[in-house]
Amino acid sequence: MVGILSYAKLVNAKNILARVEKTIIIGVPLGLGKPIDLLNALYRLASDDKSISLTILAGLTL
């Protein structure tokens, strides 16, 4: 089941890249509720393709 979930998140990450092109800035809140699998998939894509600019701002509070 983990493999299928990871694949789905990778597909979602590729869909995000198709919409926002090569610059991604994401803010994630402090505590529970972060989409870790999706963030990992975006990070993996950005590390494989150096033309993608990924910034993750973690620990935001509301």
pTM of the model: 0.78
What pLDDT score was predicted for residue 46?
Answer: 92
Write the CB contacts of 8 (distance below 8 Å, at least 6 apart in sequence).
none
CA of residue 22 relative to chain centroid, distance? 13
CA distances from 17 to 13, 32, 49, 59 (A): 6, 25, 11, 23
Residue 3: predicted pLDDT: 61
- Confidence (pLDDT) at 1: 43
Beta-bridge partner residues of 23? 53
Domain count, the chain: 1
pLDDT by residue for the chain (62 residues), tens digit each? 446 557 788 888 889 889 988 899 998 888 777 788 888 889 989 999 999 999 999 887 76
What domain range is 17 assigned to?
2-60
